[in-house]
A and B are shown apart, each in its own frame.
Chain A
Amino acid sequence: MTLLDHVPSETQLRRSAYRRRQTVHSVLVAAFSTAALGTLLVIAVTGAPGWDRVRLSFLDPQIARDALPAVLSGLWLNIRLLVCCAIGALLLGLVIAVLRTLRGPVFFPVRALAAGYTYTFRGLPLIIVLYLLTLGVPGLRLQGMPPVLVLGGIALVLTYGGYLAEVFRAGIESVHSSQLAAARSLGLTYRQTMRHVVLPQAVRRVAPPLLNDVVALQKDVGLVSLAGPIDAVRAAQIATAQTFNYTPYIVAGVLFVLLAIPLIAVTDWVTLRAARRQSGG
């Protein structure tokens, strides 16, 4: 009997009908509870005694329009910094993670340095690293000192490199030792095994947590404004100081969320595609 001329039995028809009814029922319940919760929230917020004041000082459309250009130009700095720092931190993290897996006495100092690095920069608050690099380093008055923005970027790369190194390392260690045995038995060297067998599997596995850290980095790049450069949040702060109205912060916040959405969507898509390709589909 082929799939096409199969006539479902009476029992199966009853089961299908029951499942369809259940589905309709579930959708209705979900719609109703969402509507009820939404209404409650709106009533609670707009009915609050201070709602009118809050709306004036946080949701003023005119002020939002006025602040938008300055916040956008600040956001452009965020985006450029984010791209550079994300690439830098991912590369640094990967290198540190690989260095920490090297075996043999020759590599002891390398391992120790790499371990010391991750301990230090995961423990050290980002703001302190930023101050040290953007205020302390220029104080040395060395020749050819890079601009403050670059120093701030280096501080971000150093800090996030530490987090990302640990994520990469977790990925590397999650690759089963039988994969290493198989690769080595084929005559691949340790480096080739890492490059062609371990890292591709490790990176795929930790892509979601890596991106999670990149999204966190997206919010932290703004901290370079502590040293002078004007990012989106700082621009919003300046606009707020001029009008005594907090709407520019809301503008910046919305823009940040909009910026994160494609980033998150891309990882979800990458993860899904890798999973589909590898296991039936």
Chain B
Amino acid sequence: MPLLRCRGLRKEFGGHVVLDQLDLTVAEHQVVALIGASGSGKSTLLRCVNLLEEIDDGTIELDGEDISDPRVDPDRVRRRIGMVFQAYNLFPHLSVLDNITLAPRRVHRRGRAEAEAQARELLDRVGLGAKADAYPDRLSGGQQQRVAIVRALANSPRLMLLDEVTSALDPELVGEVLAMIRDLKADGMTMVLATHEMGFAREVADEVCFLDAGRVVESGPPEQVLGEPTQPRTRQFLRRIIEAGRL
């Protein structure tokens, strides 16, 4: 049974169709990279899976449970899914440690000491142990994004959704975030990531899905989709990426 299965997803924003008959299946421990131009629906798809957006048709199943059923408690679903945003979205009024322990303490009702010990261990593992008491605005973009990933991990999610997590970073800071995602893959984390880093998608993804106008136009192993695309639109997109020097 796949961990995540989306069937026939449809999402409109004011008459504009953003997701159209979209199908996506993600097996446990699999890493799926979503590529495509801005506005192709990558971010919307991730937000729909995390129930931050209400879908207009189709079904989303997580672990076999239909989470698009309106009777499902979205808070309970989101506890099993970690999400990382392009702009980090750390809470500026809370220290790094409090950012990370907020959900474990309030959602999972862990004690402060236990939650902080877990948070410090996670921070140490990614080399941010010294920043535990700092406030987010004092960190570099790369550090903030790593804290945001740690914050999502502290919930022990079954699935991680990464929404263009390096797009807002200076080029020299991209590497540290990608290294962390590489480690997550090595640990067997199931991930869906929207990305513009084609080289990284090729390296880390088990499957690449090319989205265009809200549909999966082409999907398969990275070598195939990025190396020998069969669809004209995929080829056109990749040509533009190469021209921009991003592949």
Contacts and interface: CB of A to CB of B under 8 A. Distances in A.
B143 interface: no
B137 interface: yes
Interface residues of A, number: 23
Contact of B89 (A181, A279, A281): A181
A197 B135 contact: no
Contacts of A281: 138
B81 interface: yes
Contacts of B75: 184, 187-189
Contacts of A197: 91, 102
Nearest to A274: B93
B166 to A, nearest CB: 17
A280 B103 contact: no
A186 B151 contact: yes
A185 interface: yes
Given A179-B91, A182-B85, A192-B106, A187 B137 contact: no
Interface string B147-165: 0000110010000000000
Binding site secondary structure of chain A: helix
A228 interface: no
Given A186-B155, A192-B106, A179 B89 contact: yes
B52 A279 contact: no
B92 interface: yes
Contacts of A192: 106-107
Contact of B78 (A185, A201, A204): A185
B79 interface: yes
A278 interface: yes
A277 interface: yes
B225 to A, nearest CB: 28
A62 interface: no
A12 interface: no
Interface string A204-225: 1000000000000000000000
Given A196-B106, A278-B137, A184 B78 contact: yes
A200 interface: yes
B78 A277 contact: no
B105 to A, nearest CB: 9
Contacts of B24: none
B50 interface: yes
B37 interface: no
A280 B138 CA distance: 5
Interface of B: 47, 50, 52, 74-76, 78-79, 81-83, 85, 87, 89-93, 102-103, 106-107, 135, 137-138, 151-152, 155
30 contacts: A178-B85, A179-B91, A181-B52, A181-B89, A182-B83, A182-B85, A182-B90, A183-B102, A184-B74, A185-B50, A185-B52, A185-B81, A185-B82, A185-B83, A186-B79, A186-B103, A186-B155, A187-B155, A188-B75, A188-B102, A188-B106, A188-B107, A192-B107, A196-B106, A197-B91, A201-B93, A274-B93, A278-B93, A279-B135, A279-B138
Closest 3 CB pairs of A and B: A187-B79, A182-B89, A186-B103
Given A179-B91, A279-B137, 20 more contacts: A181-B85, A182-B85, A182-B91, A183-B91, A184-B52, A184-B75, A186-B78, A186-B103, A186-B155, A187-B75, A187-B76, A187-B103, A188-B103, A196-B106, A197-B91, A200-B93, A201-B91, A204-B93, A278-B92, A281-B138
